[in-house]
Amino acid sequence: MKIDNVPLDLLIPNMLSATVYVIQIFILTILLSIPLGFLVALARRSRFKLISVPTRIYQLVFRGTPLMLQLIFFMYGPYYIFGFSFDRFTACIIAFTINYAAYFGEIFRGGIASIPKGQYEAAKVLGYTKLQTFMRIVLPQVIKNVIPATGNELMTLVKDTSLAQVISIPELFRVATNAGSKYFSTVPIVIAAVFYLVMNTVVEFAFKWIEKKFDYYRN
Amino acid sequence: MLLKAENLQKQFGNTIVLKDISLEVNEGEVVAIIGPSGSGKSTLLRCLTQLEKVDKGRINVCGKQMVETIQNKAVYADYKTLHDIILDVGLVFQNFNLFPHYSVLKNIVDAQMNVLGIAKDKAKSKAMELLTKMNLKDRAGAYPCELSGGQQQRIAIARALALNPRILFFDEPTSALDPELTGEILKVIRSLAEEKMTMVIVTHEMSFAKDVADRVIFMDAGVIVEEGTPDAVFSNTINQRTKDFLQRFSQE
Ligand SMILES: Nc1ncnc2c1ncn2[C@@H]1O[C@H](COP(=O)(O)OP(=O)(O)OP(=O)(O)O)[C@@H](O)[C@H]1O
Ligand SMILES: [Mg+2]
């Protein structure tokens, strides 16, 4: 079947396998950057300047420069500096993880800061240890607070996977633009748009569902 | 004597908030602390419950030394002692500070289980007993956000009582409530007084302080200005500052 001279029966399977890259980047980035983001948030709250200041600088650098540039840096930088390089996919995951952990760090830091002082004080007077207070009282409320912002971030992540093309990862956007120029058609681009939209609709619904799960109380 | 505090001093930056406060509370006694806004009442309570650290002075709670002053500096006890002392006291806040993500029952059960290590069944039955006492048995499954301020404060009192504190502190327990809801809280505190619960209550409810307290302390600008039986403080006021304060209050 062809639309606008584009052989869909050839293109669609290619785009589907390119989508596997999108999903891989998406899932690996979530699994690595969310825990790392929590550490970043805790490091930012540290009393020790030796920990909080460098963390802040790291966040500024990675939120203040293009992710595309960071991808190129992790792909080609290590060779110039250390004489070795990561394979493409590893470099890609490292760049995404470090970039997103900087953003998640900021979201989680805000989430932790939004817990009223009275919660800590009530817990302390009841005899909870610092660790118990964090795990039992603070963290569950932080998770609820950061769900909307996290969902937002993950929708951006789905779209940001298209940046991996700059280090020649054969992900969806790259496959679509290549096919577009090969067949002189915008059809592959439109199909890619539909693919991204479907994935983000799933993310959106998943997060609405999670938000609802946490709706049983208000702060 | 359950609580003995001597010569407490506390300052925030350059403002001296507690100047030289000494205070004793005996077992079964109800002490009311009154005084104008900013006089240091909350700060005193927070120092006694380890939410703030004093700069100087000595505090002994239930025979355990919490802090003493050595060479002009406050020296606190070790972590273990401080933790033991915290278990001897309870604090009820002005704005309740319930845990919003826990149900009413869990608010009362959680610390029993995780702080005192009490078994679940026992903790639950204790919680239900307290909820019955607070007239809130049917709200055990509710979340704090579903309750009125008065109900939330009663849960907060139950949560504190669940750990069997020997002294219970209240910091303006009715100030965040609508006037028609203060009565239910005062009633609970009254019944605790009848059971000889040792309590230290910061309050602006003068008539309540008058009839529930064994002793009234009037604080102003970080010092205890006048102290005595309710009768002595309210009816035979000696100090001019106390007189002015009580007069201003009765005009409001
Ligand atoms: N954390 C803090 N940092 C700086 N100043 C503080 C702090 N807490 C209290 N103060 C100051 O200490 C003084 C006493 O405050 P405190 O809250 O103890 O008064 P209070 O008698 O409880 O007043 P109120 O009746 O309004 O509750 C006030 O001047 C207040 O501004
Ligand atoms: Mg106060």
Token pair, residue A20, equals 């596997």
CB-side exposure of B174: number of CA atoms within 13 Å? 19
Ligand 1 mean position, distance from CA B241 (Å): 19
- In this prediction, residue B1 carries a pLDDT of 86
Q: Write the pLDDT tens digit of every residue in A90-110.
A: 999 999 999 999 999 999 999
Percent of chain B with pLDDT over 90: 84
Percent of chain A with pLDDT over 70: 100
Best mutation target among B97, B147, B168, B169 (most A Cβ atoms within 10 Å) is: B97
β-pairing verdict for B223-228 and B215-220: antiparallel
Using a CB–CB cutoff of 8 Å, tell me whether A125 touches chain B.
Answer: yes
Where does residue A192 rank: exposed (0-12), middle (13-18), buried (19+ CB within 10 A)? Answer: buried
Q: Write the pLDDT tens digit of every residue in B62-82.
A: 999 999 999 989 999 999 999
pLDDT surpassing 80 at residue B250? no
Continuous segment of H or E residues that includes residue B57: strand B56-61
pLDDT surpassing 80 at residue B252? no
Q: Give, using CA atoms, the residue closest to atom 22 of ligand 1.
A: B42
pTM score: 0.91
Three-state SS at A108: helix
Best mutation target among A115, A117, A124, A126 (most B Cβ atoms within 10 Å) is: A126
CB B40 less than 6 A from any atom of ligand 1: yes
Token pair, residue B28, equals 């079964």
- Band of the pLDDT at A6, cuts 50, 70, 90? confident
CA distance A160 to A35: 20
Instruction: Choose between A61 and B234: higher pLDDT.
Output: A61
Tell me the H-state helices in A65-138.
67-82, 88-113, 117-126, 130-132
Using a CB–CB cutoff of 8 Å, tell me whether B147 touches chain A.
Answer: no
Choosing among 1.10.3720.10, 1.20.1050.10, 3.40.50.2000, 3.30.420.40, the CATH entry for A2-213 is: 1.10.3720.10
- Band of the pLDDT at A158, cuts 50, 70, 90? very high
pLDDT surpassing 70 at residue B188? yes
With CB atoms and an 8 Å threshold, state whether A141 touches B97.
no
Task: Kindly list the domain boundaries of chain A, sorted by start residue.
Answer: 2-213
Q: Write the pLDDT tens digit of every residue in A186-202.
A: 888 999 999 999 999 99
Token pair, residue B218, equals 């009037």
Mean pLDDT over residues B135-149, rounded?
93
Q: How far is CA A160 from the centre of its chain?
A: 9
| Mean pLDDT, chain B, integer | 93
Which residues from chain B sit within 8 angstroms of residue A147, using beta carbons? none
Mean pLDDT over residues B182-203, rounded?
93
What residue has token string 């100047």?
A: B19
CB B41 less than 6 A from any atom of ligand 1: yes
Q: Write the pLDDT tens digit of every residue in A119-149.
A: 999 999 999 999 999 999 999 999 999 999 9
- Band of the pLDDT at B211, cuts 50, 70, 90? confident
